[in-house]
Structure formats: C-alpha cells, structure tokens
A and B are shown apart, each in its own frame.
Chain A
Amino acid sequence: MMTQTMIAPETLEDALAAMHAEPGSMALAGGATLVAMMNAGLVEPNSLVALRHVDTLRGTRQLDDGGIELGAMRRHRETALETPFKDGQTVLSYAASQIANPTVRNMGTLGGSIAFNDPGADYPAALVAANATILIVGATGTREVSAEAFFVDWYTTALEAGELVAGVRVPAALVGSIGHYEKLARIAGDFAVASVALQVTWSGDSIAAARIAIGGSGPTPLHLAEADDMLIGTGADSDALSKAGLLLAQAADPVDDVRASADYRRKVIPRLLAKAMREIAPAREAA
C-alpha cells in the first residue's frame, strides 16, 4: 500500500516537484470533478497535490494583442461573471455560467474541469470555438497545445504524467464577432446532452466568419473547418446552416446513455446549431 498524502504547496515549482515525486498523484483544484469521481469510487489517487495556495495559477492577464490568459484555478463563477471578455471571447462566459449550479461554480475551476475532458462538460467545446490554447507546465518546462489538440479521447487529454494545466490563453476574437453557447440538458446544470459553442461575425444579415464546436457528442469537441466555411456568406436560417448541421451530426460520435441516445444526440445537433444562430442573428428590421 502506497502512502497516501495530501500536500498543499505554495508555489508552482513545489507542486510540480510533488507531482513528479509521487507517481500516481493527482492535482486537486476545486474538487468539483475530482472529488465527485473519488466519491463514486472511480478514481483513487495515490496522493493529492492541492493547488489552492498556488497564487500564480489564479487571476487573468490581458495581453497586448487583445488576448486574455486565464489561470487554471479560475473558478467558473469568475469566468462567468468577472472576466473582461470582448467580442466572440464571451463564448467562454456563456459556457461557464451554465456549468452545474451557483455553489459548484464557486468551487470548480477551469483547469480542473478541462483536465478531465468529460464528454458532457461545457468548457471543452467553448475553448475549441474560441480557438484557445492550453498552457501546460511540467517538471521539464512549459508547453502550449491548441484546445483542439488538447482534448484527445474520452476522459483523456494531452497532459502527460506529472503535468498540470497552468492556464488557458483565449486569443482576441474578430472585432464585432459574437460568442454564444447553446446547451441542451435535462435540467439546468446537468451535463450537456449536446451543446453548440460558436463565434460568429455578421456582415449585415450574412455570416462573414464562423467557428463552431459541438460538445457532448463524442470523445472530444467536434470542430469541422468545412462546416464553418459552408456558412460564410449565408444567413441565419439558410440551407447552408442545415447542411452544416447535418455534416456535424454525421461526424459526431455520441454515446448512448441515461441522458439521451446517440441517435437523439445526432438529431439535436442541427437543431441546436439553428437555435444558437437564431439567438445571435442581427435583429430583423420591422417590415
């Protein structure tokens, strides 16, 4: 039996050293995901490295180019309500505001959530739609991975043993773009049956640029450049939108589970996309 310990280092260096020293140790951020899985007997860490005191993992940093860096320990509540997102970057605050419930949003963190890559979680699709970069630290240094490459498989990310999510960099979105997160869940706060995260730039009534990611519908968020491109030059309720929705539905690889069947999930993807687009379409002039 290995010794099970919990340590709460003050610095990132100490945290990484502790992760490295004890193979099988896991980082404890807010506990909203990890402790729930421990309670269910699904995950049994040898030891835990609590990140609560590591101040460098908190807070946000505005970058000169309009990007924002969010620390891994940023709570969902802070991401939802207190982050100065601009333009399409707001896809992240919309997603954060729909995670679980207000109390869990006081606890759960950005890094903790994405490190699990739960297929029903809200951040993964939003980060892919925002074209974000995941900042990873390990004993041997730091590296950056695009959100698209970070989510690898069911509950699996690009994190190697001993590595931590340090934060996320959200690039500046196109000026005037709109961010939106449309989630279908059995009740508010449940994991998504399916979700659509998007950034759209309108030029009058037609779409000048779009980036769509589907959540809850496969091992990783689904993003198809082909689907994005199909929308360019079209309107909020065009054939192209239905076709893009169908293309995404066909490419999805959803599970059958208590929340919904795989077929149902495929069926709702185009509808969720259409709904999301209607929500953010420019208001029609009264005839």
Chain B
Amino acid sequence: MKFEDSFVVAASPANVWRAITDPGVIASCLPGCEDIEALSPTSYRAGIRVEVGPIKATFRVEVELTDQDMPNFVRCITKGEEGTRASMLQATSELTLRDIDGASTEVAYDSDVSVTGRLGKFGLGVMKKKAESLGCTFAENFRVQVEAA
C-alpha cells in the first residue's frame, strides 16, 4: 500500500523538524500510539492500536531513522508484528519538509506499507482507507500542537 499526502504547518522548518523527529510528539499526535520509548537517538519502539469495527489489532513496531538531512528530509523503516498473532507490518516512509516563507512549512510524506498475515487476508482496501484517515488525523493534531508551541 502506498500513501502520499502533504500538509502545511505554520512554523519554521527548524521547529517542524524538531517536533517531527521527537517520538513523544509523534506518539501524542498519532491516534492509537502507546508506550513509545527511544532505543537510541535514531530508533524507537512503540505500540500501535488499530480498530476497524470489531476487528482490533495491536502492533509492536520498531522505527529506525535510516537517513536524515536536517531539516529537509528523513527516511525511516518501520517493522512490526502483532503480538503472538500472525500479522506482520513493514513500512518505508519518507518525509520531506519544504520551507514556504520562513514561517510555514510543507510536510510531504510518502510511505510504502505492507501487511501480511491475518490482516493481510482481511483485505487491504479498508485498511488503506483507515490508514489514510489516521494520516489526516495525525496531520491535524501535529499542526495544532506545533503551531501552539
């Protein structure tokens, strides 16, 4: 599944960069994200809870920042699995920050996610819709939080 979208934050690229590379900020903006902990300056671990009606899943994921060009670009690899269940998740994501006028920044993201196992069987169509709506909620929460800072 590929996702691509962008949003604009009324903050400088430096401020957006600081927030978007801060696991605490990410966790507070992403619905269902819990128990985030930093493993190293470039990696962290988190739990992500996703619910589609009666279908509920919690993934334990590890995120590793593999490439950074402060404050313009970051690439990360996310790998996770669903407890004892058979679903696996893997994603490669890229974030590009673009300075609009010094006081606002466009954040573009591009992510390629694969899910296998029981949730893969369920059909990724609805999962993609759900993920897109999570992306929108994240963008909105992030914007509000960074602009308020």
- List residues of chain A with CB under 8 Å of any chain B CB: 26, 37, 40-43, 116-117, 119, 153-157, 219, 253, 255-258
Binding-face segment, B33-41, B61-69, B73-81, B124-132:
B124-132
- Asked if residues B55 and A42 are in contact (CB atoms below 8 Å), the reply is yes
Q: Is B148 an interface residue (CB 8 A)?
A: no
19 pairs across A/B with beta carbons < 8 Å? A26-B54, A37-B55, A40-B122, A42-B55, A42-B118, A42-B119, A42-B122, A116-B53, A119-B126, A154-B52, A154-B53, A154-B129, A155-B126, A157-B53, A255-B125, A255-B128, A257-B123, A257-B125, A257-B126
CB <8 Å contact, A154 and B54: no
Give the residues in chain A near B119, CB-CB below 8 Å: 42
Is B53 touching A41 in the complex (CB atoms < 8 A)? no
Q: How would residues 77 to 100 of chain B score, 1 for a CB under 8 Å from any chain A CB and 0 otherwise?
A: 000000001100000000000000
Contacts of A117 in B (CB 8 A): 53
Across the interface, do A219 and B118 meet the contact criterion of CB distance under 8 Å? no
Query: What is the CA–CA distance of A26 and B123 in the complex, to the nearest angstrom?
Result: 23
Most buried by A among B53, B119, B125, B130: B53
For A156, what are the chain B residues with a Cβ–Cβ distance below 8 Å?
Answer: 52-53
Number of A-B contacts (CB under 8 A): 48
B contact residues vs A (CB 8 Å cutoff): 52-55, 85-86, 118-119, 121-126, 128-130
A155, A256, A257, A258: which contacts B53 (Cβ < 8 A)?
A155
Give the residue of B53, B85, B129 whose beta carbon is less than 8 angstroms from that of A253. Answer: B129
For A219, list chain B residues within 8 Å (CB).
129
Cβ-defined contact, A155 with B129, below 8 A: no
- Which of B86, B119, B122, B126: most chain A CB closer than 10 A? B126
Known A-B contacts A41-B85, A41-B118, A42-B118; A116 and B126 likewise in contact (beta carbons under 8 Å):
no
The smallest C-beta distance from B47 to any residue of chain A, in angstroms, reads 18
Nearest Cβ on chain A to B53's Cβ, whole angstroms: 3
Q: Which residue of B lies closest to A191 (CB)?
A: B123
User: Which of chain B's residues has its CB closest to A34's CB?
Assistant: B54
A81 to B55, CA, bound (A): 33
A64 smallest CB distance to B (angstroms): 36
The main secondary structure of chain B at its interface with chain A is helix
How far is the CB of A35 from the nearest CB of chain B, in Å? 13
In the complex, what's the smallest C-beta–C-beta distance from A161 to chain B, in angstroms?
11
CA distance A16 to B109 in the complex (A): 46
6 A-B pairs with least C-beta separation: A155-B53, A255-B125, A257-B125, A41-B118, A156-B53, A154-B126
Q: Say yes or no: B129 contacts A255, CB within 8 Å.
A: yes
> Does the CB pair B130–A154 fall under 8 Å?
yes
A258 touches B123 (CB 8 A): yes
Inter-chain contact A155/B55, CB cutoff 8 Å: yes
In the complex, what residues of A have CB within 8 A of residue B55's CB? 37, 42-43, 155
Residue of B nearest to A253 (CB): B129
Most chain B CB inside 10 Å of its own CB: which residue of A117, A119, A154: A154
**Nearest CB on A from B81, distance (A):** 14
- Residue on B nearest A152 in the bound complex, by CB: B53
Q: How far is the CB of A197 from chain B (nearest CB, A)?
A: 21
Contacting residues, chain A, for B128 (C-beta < 8 A): 255-256
Shortest CB distance A1–B (Å): 13
Chain A residues, CB < 8 A from B125: 255-257
Least CB distance from A217 to B in Å reads 11
* Interface core residue of A43, A155, A253 (most chain B CB under 10 Å): A155
Closest to B86 in A: A41
Nearest residue (CB) in B for A45 is B54
Interchain CB contact under 8 A, A43 and B54: yes
- Does B123 contact A40, Cβ atoms closer than 8 Å? no
CB distance from B80 to the nearest CB of A (A): 17
If A42-B55, A154-B53, A257-B123 are given as contacts, then 19 extra A-B residue pairs at C-beta distance below 8 Å, sorted by A number, are A26-B54, A40-B118, A41-B85, A43-B54, A43-B55, A116-B53, A116-B54, A153-B53, A154-B129, A155-B53, A155-B126, A156-B53, A157-B53, A255-B123, A255-B126, A255-B128, A257-B124, A257-B126, A258-B123
